[in-house]
Amino acid sequence: MFGSSSDLTRSTLFTPAFNTAIFDGPFRIYFSQHQEAYALNFYFLLQNQLGEYFDQAKAELKSDMSYAYILIYPSEDIFKRCQTEAGQGLSRFDLHEVAAILHGQSDEDLKMMIARLKSRLETRGHSELCLVESAN
């Protein structure tokens, strides 16, 4: 099936620098090991900002058999190499939501990204799919 986790790892969005991940149900945060503190900070901001909606979003994504991939790029160079026009910021990868984040963004920037992600999750199915091409 196009859009699975293995397809994501072969897509233009993925980099071998992603050697660590946090999985909480359908929320999948990929990052480089040296970014662990930053990724955990993002995860806690995500939980706090989504609040009660966090569990609902997890249930909705699970019922759709989809994920919310959060990709935290370790450098601007890797971010630029991996991002296509369709993949900058927030995008769709088949049925999955994808948030592309450059390491080092402020908490305020992360909170804005989370607000946009929440809006996308709340309106799933009402927006046009934006597919990212596989690298193979």
Distance CA 24, CA 13 (A): 20
Q: How is residue 126 written in tokens? A: 């009402």
Distance CA 6, CA 58 (A): 20
pLDDT, position 124: 73
Pairing mode, strands 27-31 and 68-73: parallel
pLDDT, position 110: 93
CA R_g for the chain: 14
pLDDT, position 127: 37
Distance CA 65, CA 1 (A): 11
pLDDT, position 15: 92
Query: What CATH class is the domain 5-122?
Result: alpha beta
What is the residue-level pLDDT of the chain in tens, covering all 136 positions?
A: 335 566 788 888 889 999 999 999 999 999 999 999 999 999 999 999 998 899 989 988 888 888 999 999 999 889 888 875 444 578 888 888 889 998 998 999 999 999 999 998 888 743 333 334 333 3
In the chain, domain spans: 5-122
- Reported pTM: 0.83
pLDDT, position 92: 80
pLDDT, position 29: 96
